[in-house]
Structure 1
């Protein structure tokens, strides 16, 4: 089975299919809608062979359905029939959860993605648990408001790192994972990697998308 993985982001859509050596990036943006995504992906992947699609979505997904439009993109995502639009089976999962799955080895894994916001998810055996931990209250705001990209730009790298390390410890204490994977584009700015943590890679999002069709995961 050949899988096309679509990783949706507020700045770019990234796609990769089984057997292809390089991903393709497609610009998105604040007003990007599913009606824009489908023809652009079809055109970019026209020379690729795929039977099914995995889609990582930057928002809340329940039982494979998008339940709310993303904050930093256009509207129309909820209720959109992607299987009809693409003409093949489609599995939709939260983007952090897809990257967590691609990062998973064994035991209980916690994924923290430090990028535009804070993506959070856990994996335990064949169960994928999307979390919205970034929106939990923290220091007169939320975790996301203290460790997101806007905070990094506002308070500077040193203060931002302090908040990141505190966030990691709060989540470690709460969820008691065997391992923590630190992903997202800003995790590379961390000067030290705490014990029990390792850096992830955006490539793991594609690995997660491919894995999603290997067996019946609960998510």
Structure 2
């Protein structure tokens, strides 16, 4: 079987850009185009295929898609809040003409960021993405629209909160959300991803304990891991309780 038949195309759908990368290529070689509130799934597929045809042609045998919304059994269950209509019920595999795995975008980036144990992923972008991974098993979370203070988590730490409150106050709100969710979920580590994660970390002397900055490119790694069991992180070894004296 040819190398192209094994190649995976990893697609990350965001509120401002759709990005794609072919396995075997460096993250710096990712290609993108603008998305936005009118983007439909058919337009997304056409845009991605146009990226694959541009420059050196990318030939792939499978596709991974990170979707900015809730997913059940590999299918969207609600249209994205920041994109156009028509995503629920769309035949993604048929449109790409290849085997396809579609997962929540935060879960895909979390999977690419995971290194063991119990990890909470928070994606600071147009909205708030979230996922929890426990011993290698990823569980997407829908925390963005849960009540928080007078509104929702997303209203305070998403793009709306950043624009409304400014960087300094927004950073304080992100720190408070990290503390609230860490107290509730008790993760070993918290990984901050999304387009505004670096903006949050800028000008902070230190990140809170057990919090580390992720990389948006990890979404591509997560997409590749969906098809490669050998590349998926293995569960952390069981902790041996200390011997009683």
TM over 0.5: yes
Cα distance in 2, alignment partners of residues 106 and 10 from structure 1: 29
Residue 182 (structure 1) aligns with: 192
SS in 1 for 2:11: strand
Residue 214 (structure 1) aligns with: 228
Q: What are the equivalent positions in structure 2 for 1:67-86 lying under 5 Å apart?
A: 67-86=77-96
Once the two structures are superposed, residues 83-125 of structure 1 have per-residue CA deviations (whole angstroms, 9 ceiling, x without a partner) of 1111111100011110000000010110011111111101122
Cα distance in 2, alignment partners of residues 93 and 124 from structure 1: 17
Residue 41 (structure 2) aligns with: 34
How far apart are 1:43 and its partner, in Å?
2.0
The counterpart of 2:106, out of the listed 96, 110, 123, is 96
Which piece of structure 1 moves more, 97-106 or 20-29? Answer: 20-29
The counterpart of 2:7, out of the listed 2, 5, 30, is 2
Cα distance in 2, alignment partners of residues 153 and 31 from structure 1: 22
How far apart are 1:215 and its partner, in Å?
2.5
Tell me, yes or no, if the aligned pair for 2:116 and 2:136 is still in contact at 8 Å: no
User: Gapped runs of 5+ residues in structure 1?
Assistant: none
The counterpart of 1:123, out of the listed 123, 127, 133, is 133
TM-score (norm 1): 0.95
Could you list the structure 1 runs, at least 4 aligned residues long, displaced by more than 2 angstroms after superposition: none
Cα distance in 2, alignment partners of residues 150 and 60 from structure 1: 20
Cα distance in 2, alignment partners of residues 25 and 212 from structure 1: 21
The number of residues matched between the two structures is 217
Cα distance in 2, alignment partners of residues 50 and 158 from structure 1: 44
Q: Which has the larger radius of gyration?
A: 2
How far apart are 1:126 and its partner, in Å?
3.3
SS in 2 for 1:133: coil
Once the two structures are superposed, residues 181-200 of structure 1 have per-residue CA deviations (whole angstroms, 9 ceiling, x without a partner) of 01112121232311101000
Residue 57 (structure 1) aligns with: 67
Residue 156 (structure 1) aligns with: 166
The counterpart of 1:107, out of the listed 117, 120, 134, is 117
Across the aligned residues of Structure 1 and Structure 2, the Cα RMSD in angstroms comes to: 1.4
Residue 25 (structure 1) aligns with: 32
Residue 15 (structure 1) aligns with: 20
Once the two structures are superposed, residues 136-174 of structure 1 have per-residue CA deviations (whole angstroms, 9 ceiling, x without a partner) of 111111111111111111111121111111100111011
The counterpart of 2:216, out of the listed 192, 199, 202, is 202
Residue 241 (structure 2) aligns with: none
TM-score (norm 2): 0.85
